[in-house]
Amino acid sequence: MAAFRFAERQLRVGNGLSRGCSASRHVHTVYLIVCASMGCILPLPATAVYEPNYEAGPKSTRYRIWLPREPAFGIAGLWRDWPDGAYSFTMLTVNADKHPVMNRMHAPGKEKRSVVIVPRAQWEEWLACRDPEAARTFMTLFPPEVMAAEPAPIVRRSKELPPSADAELPL
């Protein structure tokens, strides 16, 4: 099995988020982004998604959401480079108010959203997509019966042990 390697480093995103870039982008803006030549469509490789859950009380508990039958999946994303050398990046999200797993995440009273999951078998199709109507067909929630969720509190590292720069993501 191949491995996706990444180094821990910061990606400069212009002057903060000055170009309207956000960590996630609602699907109704996909038309605008694709039609405005966002530059590159990508599946952001992941083994899990982490979201806040407030079911236990007023403070959130970090939850891990993953696909037990898929060791790696993609999150639908778009990126663009700018003439000044800056980059904009966004992960696409959809409404999850009625999704049995994802509607449990985020603060009470707030809109429930989920990143768009692209199964590995569809990565090539997503990468080749340049038509806004075809892109819209990807904008769905993943079936809840193939997802799993569990509490995953953050474990604080000792300052003496730096995080590994050679973490691997199986693909």
Residue 39 has a CB neighbour count (10 Å cut-off) of 15
Provide the 10 A C-beta neighbour count for residue 76.
Answer: 26
Run of H or E including 31: helix 30-35
**Residue 100: pLDDT band with limits 50, 70, 90:** very high
CA distances from 29 to 15, 132, 135 (A): 22, 10, 11
Residue 19 binned pLDDT confidence (cut-offs 50, 70, 90): very low
Any domain includes 167? no
Percentage of the chain lying above the pLDDT 70 cut: 70
Structural contact between residues 73 and 118, judged by C-beta atoms closer than 8 angstroms: yes
Model pTM greater than 0.75? no
Q: Does the pLDDT value for residue 53 go beyond 50?
A: yes
Which pair of tokens denotes residue 27?
């699907």
Cα angle at 118 between 92 and 3, to 5 degrees? 115
Residue 158 lies in a domain: no
**Rounded Cα gap, residues 37 and 79, in angstroms:** 10
Most confidently modeled range among 8-17, 42-51, 162-171 = 42-51
Domain contains 129: yes
Calculate mean pLDDT across residues 102-120. 93
Residue 101 lies in a domain: yes
Task: Give the residue-averaged pLDDT of 68-96.
Answer: 88
On whether residue 120 sits in a domain, the answer given is yes
User: Is 137 or 35 the better-scoring residue by pLDDT?
Assistant: 137
pLDDT confidence of residue 170? 60
Question: Residue 15 and residue 50: Cα distance in Å, rounded?
Answer: 26
Does residue 26 fall inside a structural domain? yes
Residue range 64-68: mean pLDDT, rounded: 96
Q: Is the pLDDT of residue 45 over 80?
A: yes
* Contact by Cβ (8 Å): 11, 108: no
For residue 101, the enclosing domain spans 13-153
Residue 7 lies in a domain: no
CATH, residue 129: 3.90.1680.10
- Are the CB atoms for 33 and 78 separated by under 8 Å? yes
Res 165 pLDDT > 60: no
| pLDDT computed for residue 85 by the predictor | 85
Total domain count for the chain?
A: 1
In a domain, 19, yes or no: yes
| Closest C-alpha among 26, 23, 24 to residue 136 | 26
